[in-house]
Amino acid sequence: MKTGRPELTPTAIKAGKLLAHRLAGQSTDLMNYDNVATTVFTPLEYGCVGLSEEEAERRRGKDGIEVFHAFYKPLEFTVAERDASRCYVKVICERGGDQKILGLHLTGPNAGEVIQGFSMSLQCGATYPHLLQTVGIHPTCAEEVVKIHITKRSG
């Protein structure tokens, strides 16, 4: 049965623990299913947290979102002379205002590790200006996320 909730083992474990604490009268906390990070472990990993571009557009309208995106070349691809044409980062934000980040998507080496780190920032209400204020660790794939500045709208 499709519930709209992530079908991930860690999500089920956390929800079960929270339920057990509620049943035992130790807590009233409910599971927060927003911004649960996930990764597809294929030879070129894909990781995401938050909304897809399509879902953000459905909720906010096409003019209500800004999509920052870029292709990048990881250091390990340079040394091995691998094709990096599929290494891609996309950050979906509210347009205008504080530019709250609605979703983050990454394909490339270690995408799961990178997305796990950014998932907490989305839980805390990270904005695009927060992202730009973050100093990247050079040379990592995560650095590509914090220096993203090209929008789909700008070309």
Q: Residue 1: its pLDDT value, please?
A: 42
Q: Is the pTM of this model over 0.75?
A: yes
Same domain for 77 and 90, yes or no, is yes
Same domain for 127 and 86, yes or no, is yes
Does 91 map to a domain?
yes
The 10s digit of each residue's pLDDT in 63-91 is 999 999 999 988 888 877 777 788 999 99
Q: Residue 78: its pLDDT value, please?
A: 81
Same domain for 50 and 87, yes or no, is yes
Same domain for 107 and 58, yes or no, is yes
Domain of 72, CATH number, reads 3.30.390.30
Q: Residue 82: its pLDDT value, please?
A: 78
Candidates 21, 69, 130, 138; catalytic one: 138
What 3-state class would DSSP assign to 38? strand
Q: Which domain holds residue 18?
A: 1-33
Query: Is 149 assigned a catalytic role?
Result: no
Same domain for 84 and 126, yes or no, is yes
Ordered DSSP codes for 41-95: -SSS-EEEEE--HHHHHHHH-GGGEEEEEEE---HHHHHHT---TT-EEEEEEES
Domain count within the chain: 2
The 10s digit of each residue's pLDDT in 100-141 is 999 999 999 999 999 999 999 999 999 999 999 999 999 899
Same domain for 24 and 68, yes or no, is no
